[in-house]
A and B are shown apart, each in its own frame.
Chain A
Amino acid sequence: MHDKSVAQLIAGLRAKQFTSVELSRCFLDRIAALDPGYNSFITVDETAVLAAAAAADERIAAGEAATLTGIPIAHKDIFCTNGIRTSCGSRMLDNFVPPYDATLIDKFNREGAVILGKTNMDEFAMGSSSESSYYGPVRNPWDSSLVPGGSSGGSAAAVAALLAPAATGTDTGGSIRQPAAFCGITGIKPTYGRVSRLGMVAFASSLDQAGPMAHSAEDCALLLNSMAGYDPLDSTSSELPAEDYTARLGDSLQGLRIGLPKEYFGEGLQAGTARRIEQALKEFEAQGATLVEVSLPHSHLTIPTYYVIAPAEASTNLSRFDGVRYGHRCSDPIDLHDLYTRTREEGFGAEVKRRILIGTYALSAGYYDAYYKKAQQVRRLIKQDFTACFEQVDVIAGPTTPGPAFALGAKSDDPVAMYLEDIYTLAVNLAGLPGMSIPAGFVDGKPVGLQLIGRHFGESQLLNVAHRYQLATDWHLQRPAGAIGGAA
């Protein structure tokens, strides 16, 4: 059961091959047995899981099942879940049990999907390695000495280790795509505004976007069908109707024009990864696509632009964590100032504090124009690069990351080196485009991710391209040794 795709599990539940309770039990047992080695979950509420599964089974029995009824799904611990702790990987929210659901959670609940647990992550989604969590680092199922990527590293590891059939993540600068690449799974960051941000703890409001993480493009499409859509309570959510993202999965790639940004294949890209990407591109050519070299001339500015905008927005998004209404509060504050400064000193980890300080600096009097305004201007130039590219090509392809997963601790003391990990993913968020990462082979046993970037609201096309690739290859079906066996 644990190594089936979501599509297969849906069919199995419908055919009464197994129940949702059995399915959920299977994953709960695997989590109990294997997760101590990965630390991919922060919170798993067995009783609630089984109750939700039982309710789903009743719904299936009554013939009232929706697509995902009874499917256990792991959720990044950034989505507020009514009655289940939502920590965002932070001491600040270690005691925070929201009395409400995020819109995304609500949508899954209405479908009758089962909340399997809340996955580990970089604190407040700030990181590329899932090492900055208050709950300890997540380990990569392919090699536990490696990071799983971040910030949605717990979701990626859980899916890769077959502890969950699918998961949700969020992506502010690559936080779905990079861990998907590092863990050998498939993940899509939809167009900004495609999935509601309500109830998702905010990191950088103009960049944050939630998306599915699973083994295949088909599974991602199934999940996205439940996640996407207009939310009147999120002013930045798009009113454009969501599509059936499974409808075009099988379309031919004949005549498809794939752009290869020369900046994504130059210095900085590791040779092993480059070879895997080139090999993957040959498969697209074999299916009738043409490869076109394109240019994104402002690519070198994406890191500085991102590291102004994201911390600036984060610095004020995180002001609400003040120890007054919920979350951590320092003990015995002597006055209001002490309450604020000590609560925030204790509640936030080093990277979060660093980003708050950078963001505060970038917005402060005398620096606003030089930093924040400047970055918003360069952001437009970066978006214009893509607009120009999409006049020539249908999708853009390249590596998700410069190289495969790195060792735990290798970059945790060097923020700038860590930021460089996101060099190929940040621009997609700055431009608000959909992007995905799909498994494209291995370098020394470590997964490599191929990134696909589409036009605004071009999710169906991306999923189609990815699915056609996955029909012809089996990289997405490879499993880490440690995940095979165990409770089945």
Chain B
Amino acid sequence: MQWETVIGLEVHLQLATRSKIFSGSATTFGAEPNTQASAVDLAMPGMLPVLNALAVRYAVMFGLGIGADIGRRSVFDRKNYFYPDLPKGYQISQFEAPIVGRGSFEIQLEDGTTRAIGITRAHLEEDAGKSLHEDFHGQTGIDLNRAGTPLLEIVSEPDLRSAAEAVAYLKALHSLVTYLGISDGNMAEGSMRCDINISLRPPGSDTLGTRAEIKNVNSFRFVEKAIRHEFERQAEILEDGGKIVQETRLYDADLDETRPMRSKEVANDYRYFPEPDLLPVVIDEAYIESVRADLPELPTEKRHRFVEQYGLGHYDANVLADSRELAAYFEAVVAACGDAKIAANWVQVELLGQLNRGELSLNDCPVSAPALGGLIKRILDNSISGKIAKQVFEAMWQGAGSADEIIAARGLQQVSDTGELEGMVDAVIAANANQVAQYLAADEDRRKKLVGFFVGQVMKLSKGQANPQMVNDLLAKKLV
């Protein structure tokens, strides 16, 4: 039987503020347990929250980035439940009046098409601490360093139809938030965590099936696997005539399966109500305009501009605009060499190839954008061939200096001296009488193929440094 998968994602994004959302504690990842937990974070008696301005600004940046309505008067609420990683016994979140309202943004699918995915809302809240289940004599250890880290919870519409679309959505979201600089997007450190709502229905149906929620899936790969697994589980139940139970499930990456969560928040009543220790956050037009004025160019705009301004294909534009750093690198190469197409090719093939092989990030790249631009310039002015350029690039990667230094030091300069080349061409013609005879006897089409032999011989003689175009021209003149 055929099923349509309906997926909505709730992404918890840690915002890249230095201090917590409601206290002055540091948010640095990986500190010793409870060394970044202040009296406020520990919910000591009498402690009160004060809202971090940058968390608000980041939320508004996100809202503007997805073209959403910004909540002019957003309200924090208490979400009440007991859990040891939640020191106050309530999480300060936003329920009825979130800071970011409805918006949407574009995702790129593998076949090159794009789709707009709706965002229902995004709201600010505080992260919880961590429970460590290693053995403390049969007890659980609680680390509250993470408690109070600002989160933006981004809730999508149930607009996604496959695991691949869900991953494309997450990648686009990751790209957007890192462009905006509002999150480091580091999934391994939990900066971007995902809850997946998934249900199945017969194709063409416009009602939603009963959904399961899969909590806390923390990598693109696991999202894909969790959805595939959950699809199979639900399809099997439905095909056996069963019913899906609405429940919260946990994805177990080790076993590659989802299973129901046993404890947390089962059939809870969160008793949301406006947080009386905080007041409504009022955002006016002037504030929004000041944030808008500081927004960087966003991935979608950049992709479109790369296509128009540089004449790149959609695929190339997509790859190059994927991260703000890569796009900036690419544009700096273009600025240095003046040829966008060659620059696009070098950045994607040689540069990304080297980075991938070395498992390096762009920050660790040993060849600067102007340096790569300098190399490309030597291809463009015929100083070196593309083939030699790859050697030079390899040497640059090893730290041997600039393109010009390497070319000079290793004598890689292309031979473009007519006299010198003529000598080599004459020598090749003299040494290969048979081939010359064949060539002269051949028709136009065949000649085009045979000339390659002579070019090859000249290149061999010049150790690859002969200017191929000039060699071609000379051969055409002399083979008559």
Contacts and interface: CB of A to CB of B under 8 A. Distances in A.
Asked whether the complex places CB atoms of A and B closer than 8 A, the reply is yes
Interface stretch (B38-46, B288-296, B411-419, B457-465): B38-46
Interface in B49-81: 49-51, 78, 80
Given A325-B87, A365-B269, A320 B80 contact: no
Contacts of A197: 46, 48
A223 interface: no
Nearest to A206: B276
A236 B279 contact: yes
B46 A80 contact: yes
B360 interface: no
Interface in A352-407: 360, 363-365, 368, 372
A198 B45 contact: no
Nearest to A344: B82
3 A-B pairs with least C-beta separation: A319-B89, A205-B276, A363-B271
Interface string A69-107: 000000000011000001010000100101110100000
Nearest to B88: A320
Given A197-B46, A235-B49, A312 B273 contact: yes
B45 A80 contact: yes
A320 B273 contact: no
B56 to A, nearest CB: 13
Interface in A334-359: 336, 340
30 contacts: A79-B46, A80-B44, A80-B46, A93-B45, A98-B45, A197-B48, A198-B47, A198-B48, A199-B47, A201-B45, A202-B45, A202-B277, A233-B50, A234-B48, A235-B49, A236-B48, A313-B276, A316-B78, A316-B80, A320-B43, A320-B87, A320-B88, A322-B89, A324-B142, A325-B42, A325-B44, A326-B45, A336-B84, A368-B271, A368-B272
Contact of B89 (A79, A232, A320, A368): A320
Nearest to A333: B139
Interface in B437-473: none
Contacts of B51: 235
A324 B147 CA distance: 15
Interface string B16-44: 00000000000000000000000100111
Given A360-B271, A365-B269, A316 B89 contact: yes
B105 interface: no
Interface of B: 39, 42-51, 78, 80, 82, 84, 87-90, 142, 269, 271-273, 276-279
Given A316-B271, A364-B271, A102 B46 contact: yes
A200 interface: yes
Interface of A: 79-80, 86, 88, 93, 96, 98-100, 102, 197-202, 204-206, 232-236, 312-313, 316, 319-320, 322, 324-326, 336, 340, 360, 363-365, 368, 372
B47 to A, nearest CB: 7
A100 B39 contact: yes
B353 to A, nearest CB: 52
A79 B46 CA distance: 8
Contacts of A204: 276
Contact of A200 (B46, B49, B84, B278): B46
Given A312-B273, A324-B84, A363-B271, A235 B43 contact: no
Contact of A363 (B46, B87, B273): B273
Given A202-B277, A235-B51, A316-B88, 15 more contacts: A86-B45, A88-B45, A93-B45, A99-B39, A100-B39, A202-B45, A235-B50, A236-B276, A316-B271, A319-B82, A319-B90, A325-B42, A363-B271, A365-B269, A365-B271
B262 to A, nearest CB: 12
Contacts of A93: 45
Contacts of A88: 45
Contacts of A363: 80, 271-273
Nearest to B38: A100
A372 B80 CA distance: 15
By DSSP majority rule, is chain A's interface helix, strand, loop, or mixed?
A: loop
Nearest to A366: B269
Contacts of B272: 363, 368
Nearest to A201: B45
A202 B46 contact: yes
A264 B272 CA distance: 35
A316 B90 CA distance: 7
A12 to B, nearest CB: 34
B46 A198 contact: yes
Nearest to B89: A319
A319 B269 contact: no
B133 to A, nearest CB: 12
B129 to A, nearest CB: 10
B74 to A, nearest CB: 14
B84 to A, nearest CB: 6
Contacts of B49: 235
A79 B51 CA distance: 23
A232 B45 contact: no
Contact of B44 (A98, A233, A360): A98
A197 B48 CA distance: 8
A80 B43 CA distance: 13
Given A205-B277, A235-B49, A319-B88, A325 B271 contact: no
Contacts of A102: 46
B279 A235 contact: yes
A199 B44 CA distance: 9
Residue among B46, B142, B272, B277 with max Cβ neighbours from chain A (10 Å): B46
A325 B89 CA distance: 12
Contacts of B50: 232-235
A201 B46 contact: yes
Contacts of B142: 324
A200 B42 CA distance: 15
Contacts of B45: 80, 86, 88, 93, 96, 98, 201-202, 320, 326
B104 to A, nearest CB: 31
A206 B275 CA distance: 9
A324 B87 contact: yes
B285 to A, nearest CB: 23
Contacts of B278: 235
Contacts of A199: 46-47
A373 to B, nearest CB: 9
Nearest to A198: B48
Contact of B80 (A202, A235, A319, A325): A319
